Amino acid sequence: MSEGQTTLDVQRCLDELADVSGDASVEPLVRSLVARAADRLQTLCSVLLHSHYPRLTHGPLNLCSDEVLGGVVERLLKALRAVHPATVREFFGLANQHMRWELNDLARRLDAGARVVSLNESVFAAPILPEATQRPTVSFQRILQAIDSLADPEREVFNLVRIQGMTQVEAAKVIGVSAKTVQRRLTRGLVQLEEWLSDFRPRSGALEAR
């Protein structure tokens, strides 16, 4: 399914959801909404997992994006029974927040040496990691905290383009601004993140706007 068609289908489901009331009527619409967005949600889970939480893709969790998606879908189904986003922008913003909560929770529990139950119901005894192996996850959490500290316009654009994988043109359509505005906001956000995370630059160099 194309990005444009996904956006149209998701918006149609959101419009229908806004017109109903009662748990019995909401449930099928919520499930249809998540199903329509499944492909894009899968992509977003993969991007976020491998870009910010690669440690979780190795032992003992060996987490894959399908498992993350399962947990996120469960969270979304519960959230959407109470919260009804009005736009595609709001829906994917909600989904992105739940993805980060899901991965952050697993990362914290792994670092603490807790017994972590994987999303496929396999149980791993997670050992207490030495300090050297804890640093990557701590750094990823710092990055997420820095992103959350951006001003709303810059944070929204950063999430859409750099985390959700949209092009600047696609992000502009979702937000309702020009592609140039998206580019300016993304650049401002990246400059701010460079300043806040100056001691933790990727080896490949500074972050670049797409």
| Confidence (pLDDT) at 6 | 83
In the chain, domain spans = 3-131, 149-210
CA distance linking residue 210 with residue 207, whole number of Å: 10
- Taking the C-alpha atoms of residue 73 and residue 201, their distance in angstroms, rounded to an integer, is 33
Is residue 193 within 8 A of residue 147, CB to CB? The reply is yes
Please report, in tens digits, the pLDDT of each residue of the chain (210 residues total). Answer: 566 788 888 899 898 888 876 666 788 888 888 888 888 888 888 888 888 888 888 877 788 888 888 888 888 888 888 888 888 888 988 888 888 888 888 877 776 654 333 333 333 333 333 443 444 444 556 777 788 888 988 988 888 887 767 788 888 887 888 989 999 998 998 888 888 877 765 454 444 444
Would you tell me how many other CB atoms lie within 10 Å of the CB of residue 67?
20
- State the CB neighbour count (10 A cutoff) for residue 103: 24
Check residue 2 and report its DSSP letter: -
Task: Give the pLDDT score at 180.
Answer: 92
pLDDT of residue 104: 83
The pLDDT value given to residue 141: 64
Is the CATH number of domain 149-210 1.10.10.10? yes
User: Considering the entire predicted model, what is its pTM?
Assistant: 0.56
